Amino acid sequence: MKTRLLLVLLAISTWGTAQNKTLSGYVRDAATGEDLIGVNIWSPELKVGTSTNSFGFYSFTLPQGEHIIQLTYLGYENQNFEIDLTKNVSINFKLKPAENVLNEVTVTAAESSQIQEQIQMSKMEVPIKQLKSLPAILGEVDIMKTLQLLPGVQSGGEGTSGLYVRGGSPDQNLILLDGVPLYNVNHLFGFFSVFNADAISNVSLTKGGFPARYGGRLSSVLEIKMKEGNMNEFHGDATASIIASKMTLEGPLVKDKASFMVSGRRTYLDVLARPFINAANSQNPETTINPTYYFYDMNGKVNWKISDKDRVYLSHFQGKDDFGTKGRDEYEDYQAEFGFGLDWRNSITAARWNHQWSPKLFSNVTATRSVYNFNTRISQEERYLPNYPDTAGTEESRFAGLYFSGIEDYGARIDFDFVPNPQHYIRYGAGWTNHKFSPGATNFEFQQSGFNLDTTIGGDEIFSDEAFAYVEDEWNVNENFKIGYGLHLNTLFVENTTYTRLQPRIGMNYSLPGNIALKASYADMMQTVNLLTNEGLGLPTDLWVPSTANLKPQTSQQYAAGLAKNVGPYEFSIEGYYKDMQNLVSYREGASFLFSVDDESWEDKVTQGQGTSYGMEFFAQKKAGKTNGWIGYTLSWSYRQFDEINGGQRYFFTYDRRHDLSVVVNHEISENINFSAAWVYGTGRAVTLPEFSYITGLPEELSWWNYRQLTVERATDRNSYRYSPYHRLDVSLSFRKEHKNYERWWTISAYNAYNNLNPFFMETTQDRNGNPQLREYGLFPIIPSIAYRIKF
Amino acid sequence: MKKFLFIALFAASISSCDNLTEGVVRDIDLPPHTPTMVGTLLADNTDSTLYGIISQTRGLLDSNVAALLSGATVNLYKDNVLQYSWNTQDTMDYYSLNLNDTLGSASGTYKFEVLHPEFDDLTATDQFPPAAIISEAVLNKGAAQIFTFEADEIILNLQDIPGVDQHYIFSCEVRLTDFNFIGDTSWTKADLYSDDQRTIQLAGSSAILVSENGIDADLQLSFASTAFLGAPLEEDYEYRISIKTLSNEGFNYYRSLSSYQTAQGNPFSEPVVIYSNVSGGYGVFALSRTVDRIVR
């Protein structure tokens, strides 16, 4: 058996060796020196090709002789290159950005790059240049908000955070920033993401048909790559809007050898709101309330080309949100101070080394660190002065509570790209991650009249180690049939327990008449980290917890099939999927994560169950031209079933959204004026609403008051009620002007342009006549904004 | 053009600030609620009176509170043979039926049925679970602690019944065993506590709910109790432990009810849907078996 395998590998790798030579190297942006990912390198004569990997590296084996090599990449001028291939040769290409980025001629995809030629399905790439032309919310173009406009990807709604991909929950998305997992990607309660578009060079989202190199999450892989920094010249980009300012600086440390990029952003909501808060407090001097909020994030990257075959990178990201409110009561006989706050922070660091071992073999070694923490704090101090009734002297009491939680990862991995010939692209690698979870501890302090209490409940750290290995191949079987297949092996070691799962992955592409591609895929996935979410709140108080000896890892199997086709600048795809999920984690009914005085650990508050989701996605996109954009529509169902929830009956997932429609339009009014609009519509979020009440009972001997009956409120089923549908229009108009040494833009935008109330939460209240009433509250009305951007 | 846009932006800013100040709300018109009948019958083998609690649902926006329902007939079948039928309501408006003896726990499938001319019929079925088999019950006075107070320890060992997912409610009473100046030797409810992670303190009750959660093994539990609302007395006293074995239906109901009561008033709690096994409406029909053991 082993001998046969070796012979097969030898045959693959020595495909006509005596006749073939390899062209290899890197493809970079001619202006900035940035690596270009996914550039198509094609031989129109032989109808074979390849593409650059995540570091811009390519390897293309061709028969000896003269060839024309065609390079194509969205947003760049096509390049044709003639070569007489007599030996293995290393050539680095530089592609020039197209003057008109979205010009139909320049960006019409070559045959090799069209969607119907690619094996990978369920993958969406958003060019940064296109992303920056979309409506800017409060002056900020946001990557996560843009991804939510794609089919199969939903937002949680107003004030909630995360991506919900094909019926999955937010923890099921592997979000990688330069290869490092990020655990919380939200600022301002989900209004913005932590990703500063000015610091990003590439964004891609895979929703299914996962290649074997990915693992650890069930529903999606979001890869975001930071810019490396301009290798040739210093440049800067600064934006000031009504809510935040940011600046990006990049440039060479050693020209054409080493570069840097640093980018920072901070909001000044706290400063802007201060006059209004002071004005409101001045009307009631006895009681003052001071809310504060700010966020910041910072990206930094350095890279150094040690030699033609070696390159090292160091990247770092950190960000923080801090929300708090303090109040004060001041009376003649009574004083009190109270406070409530939330803060959460991310920090990631990655060091990587690229090495080209041979024209056909490339490797990347990465070491990473990722930290996420959040804290919830509450405090109250009271002072009863001697003139307070029934008080003998001054009495003081103080209470403080702190809930803190976090996760810290250290990891390393090595990945190889081996391209023996144009028929095969083989990847393999392995890695290891050490996780440290601090899954929620509550500290209470109380002092009054000499009584002191200082206690911490919970907070035992849990360590786990995760190891993986994979191998995958993309095989162009013939002109009409391509297949990608692989295996991902994942092992988790935690609390003297080992979980191992071999996860097969397969994807295929078959060309039908009319240049239509029929694609299908299957992926088995395992996930060993879980996010406990209070579904009613969606605050960053969500808790990351590990799989343990008692809590099995989540697993899923996803089937997908679809059709895809390019017609000129238009791209069409229709895709259906079915996903089964096991060992999903949820809080039990009635469980409370926050300031719970019981002695239960988080593990006692959760239960495991299963989920099913299925649906159909339709996507039509015009990538080029003065008017471009897309329409995405998703019809889907998503269910959950837990034995201990809803009486064991299946119920709708909170983010089950029957219809989800996005229409995005970008129009170039003139060379310097650009208009864009995005309209979204989605079925209302599911919620458990106590729709009615009735009287039930208990045996008398089990009731404290010897009273048998009990009035309870109940929903028909868990998540049986729906909020009102969500729909929103964002518009943006930008005016560009080119000066001698810089360009500037004025951007005027409106979030929720027709001021639709999109529900955030609901409650029962009473009208003026005392009759019960159900009321939905929104969060964001129309929010106009203006931003000034300068690029130099 | 730009000036116009800036003016429009300024005007929109002012209007949106108003919205931000006052909040953005929408009042929802729910469709009128169609009342549904609700029936609850929790019957134990030791019961000499059956209590059916029959009510109707009231909508969320209904200004009237939930109320018990009159005019219903309650039937109890065993293996499809009618055993009891009653429609009389007592002073508390419960449908109560005095039995000549205790209900007992004859094997078979019991069906609970409620008929009412204005509502769909309610039905539910259940079977008696096997009785608890107590292999050991021990009292160690003063050997436990509840917060900082000395308490008595009660240890119970229950034998596993293979293939049966066993659920229990433990409650206890205490009484003096010698006549003394207090003069009261009747049974009095006593608190039960346990820090065993398998136990659930039933909200609004002194009882404890436990499930073996599908694990086939003997169950050993330790409880603490403080007898007469304080430190154990020097006088002799004894505990009567009641071990109520629940059917799966009963366990699901008690667990959901306890979660519901615990969650009340806590905005951070997960929503609770009270368990219902009744067809045609809501409510619960569950059977249980109680075994008592006195420890002294």
Under an 8 A CB cutoff, do A534 and B268 touch?
Answer: yes
Environment class of B278 (CB within 10 Å of its CB; exposed 0-12, middle 13-18, buried 19+): buried
C-beta atoms of B263 and A777 within 8 A: no
**Secondary structure E strands in A553-626:** 554-567, 570-587, 606-622
Q: Pairing relation of β-strands A310-330 and A334-358?
A: antiparallel
pLDDT tens readout for residues B96-143 = 999 988 998 888 999 999 999 999 999 999 999 999 999 999 988 888
Per the CB < 8 A criterion, the answer to whether B255 and A643 are in contact is no
B15–A691 C-beta distance less than 8 A: no
B248 touching chain A per CB within 8 A: no
Cβ-based burial of A700 (10 A; exposed 0-12, middle 13-18, buried ≥19): exposed
Size of interface A-B (CB pairs under 8 A): 207
Nearest CA among A169, A124, A120 for reference residue A556: A169
- From chain B, the residues in CB contact with A723 under 8 A are none
Interface contact A712-B51, CB threshold 8 A: no
With an 8 Å Cβ cutoff, are A588 and B259 in contact? yes
Higher pLDDT, B232 or B219: B219
A213 touches A203 (CB < 8 A): no
Contacts of A388 (CB under 8 A, 6+ apart): A333, A334, A395
Q: What single letter denotes the amino acid at residue A446?
A: F
Query: What's the pLDDT tens digit per position in B160-208?
Result: 888 888 999 999 888 887 655 555 577 888 888 888 878 888 877 778 9
Question: Is A756 in the B-facing interface, judged by CB distances under 8 Å?
Answer: no
Least Cα distance to A629 among A130, A8, A199, A107 occurs for A130
Q: A353: number of CA atoms within 13 Å, CB side?
A: 10
**Is the CB of A594 inside 8 Å of chain B's CB atoms?**
yes
Residues near B31 by beta carbon (within 8 Å), at least 6 away in sequence: none
Q: Which residue has the tokens 């002799």?
A: B236
For residue A127, count CB atoms less than 10 angstroms from its CB and return exposed for 0-12, middle for 13-18, buried for 19 or more.
middle
Tell me the H-state helices in A44-193.
104-107, 128-131, 143-147
- Contact residues on chain A for B195, CB-CB shorter than 8 A: 599
pLDDT of residue B18: 44
Q: State whether residue B229 sits within 8 Å of chain A by CB.
A: no
Contacts of B12 in chain A (CB under 8 A): 750, 782, 784
* Rounded distance between C-alpha atoms, residue B99 and residue B121, angstroms: 24
Query: Searching chain A, which residue's CA lies closest to the CA of residue B26?
Result: A776
Report mean pLDDT in 10-residue bins for chain A, 792 residues: 52 56 93 88 88 92 92 87 91 84 47 63 79 75 87 79 87 93 83 84 91 95 91 91 89 92 87 68 70 88 92 94 84 84 91 95 96 88 80 78 88 96 94 91 74 70 95 92 96 96 96 90 96 65 85 97 89 96 94 63 89 97 87 96 93 94 94 93 90 89 73 90 91 92 91 88 76 80 89 90
CB-CB under 8 Å, A772 with B60 = yes
More confident residue, A657 or B20: A657
Distance CA A544, CA A373 (A): 10
> A433 forms bridges with which residues in the sheet?
A411, A466
B259 in contact with chain A, both atoms CB, cutoff 8 A: yes
Percent pLDDT > 90 in chain B is 44
Q: Which neighbouring-strand residues pair with A41? A: A50, A71
Report helix, strand or coil for A616: strand
Chain A CB contacts of B28 under 8 Å are 724, 762, 774-776
Query: Where do the H-state alpha helices sit in chain B?
Result: 2-22, 248-263
Q: Contact A223/A124 with Cβ under 8 angstroms?
A: no
Q: Which residues pair with B224 in a beta bridge?
A: B153, B193
Half-sphere exposure for B80 (CA within 13 Å, toward CB) = 0
Q: Nearest chain B residue to A649 by CA: give it.
A: B275
CB A634 within 8 A of CB A152: yes
pLDDT for A538 equals 47
CA distances from A734 to A177, A449, A531, A752, A785 (A): 29, 63, 39, 17, 12
Task: Considering only the beta carbons, identify the residue of B6, B94, B269 that sits closest to A590.
Answer: B269
- Containing H/E element for A41? strand A40-43
Render pLDDT for B50-107 as a digit per residue (tens, 0 to 9). Answer: 999 999 999 887 877 888 999 999 999 999 999 999 999 988 889 999 998 899 888 8
Kindly state whether B279 is in contact with chain A, defined as any CB-CB distance less than 8 angstroms: no
Element holding A281 (H helix, E strand) = helix A269-282
Contact A694 B260 (CB under 8 A): no
Q: Which residue of A has its CA nearest to B27?
A: A775
Is B9 touching A (CB cutoff 8 A)?
yes
What's the confidence (pLDDT) of residue A438?
A: 87
ipTM: 0.88
Q: Cβ distance A483 to A520 under 8 Å? A: no
Q: How many CB atoms lie within 10 A of CB B38?
A: 29
For residue B260, give the nearest of A536, A590, A595 by CB distance.
A590
Q: How high is the pLDDT of residue B19?
A: 44
Cα–Cα distance for residue pair A323/A295, rounded to 1 Å: 9
**Residues in A touching B53 (Cβ below 8 Å):** 695-697, 708-709
Name every residue whose Cβ is closer than 8 Å to that of residue A413 and which is 6 or more positions away in sequence: A179, A365, A366, A429, A430, A431, A432
**Yes or no, beta carbons of A696 and B274 under 8 Å apart:** yes
pLDDT at A76: 87
**Which residue in chain B is spatially nearest to A711 when comparing CA positions?**
B66
When CB atoms are compared, the residue of A647, A699, A784 closest to B252 is A647
Nearest-CA distance B199 → chain A (Å): 11
In angstroms, what is the C-alpha Rg of chain A?
A: 28
Q: Which of B197, B263, B283 is nearest residue A696 as measured by Cβ atoms?
A: B283
Chain B nearest-CA distance from A787, in A, is 12
A42: closest CA among A65, A72, A12, A84? A72
Residue A197's SS3 state is: helix
Give the HSE-up count for residue A64: Cα atoms under 13 Å, Cβ half-sphere: 8
Query: If you measure CA to CA, which chain A residue comes closest to B15?
Result: A782
Contact A772, A691 (CB under 8 A): no
Give pLDDT, residue A127. Answer: 75
How many CA atoms, within 13 angstroms, populate the side-chain half-sphere of residue A4? Answer: 1
User: What's the mean per-residue pLDDT of chain B?
Assistant: 84
Cβ of B284 under 8 Å from any chain A Cβ? yes
- 3-class SS of residue A350: strand
Q: Which of A40, A37, A63, A42 is nearest to A51 (CA)?
A: A40
Two structure tokens written together for A149: 């406009």
Contact criterion met (CB < 8 Å) for A781 and B27: no
Vertex A391: Cα angle to A388 and A395 (nearest 5) = 90
pLDDT of residue A539: 54
Helix (H, G, I), strand (E, B) or coil at A702: helix
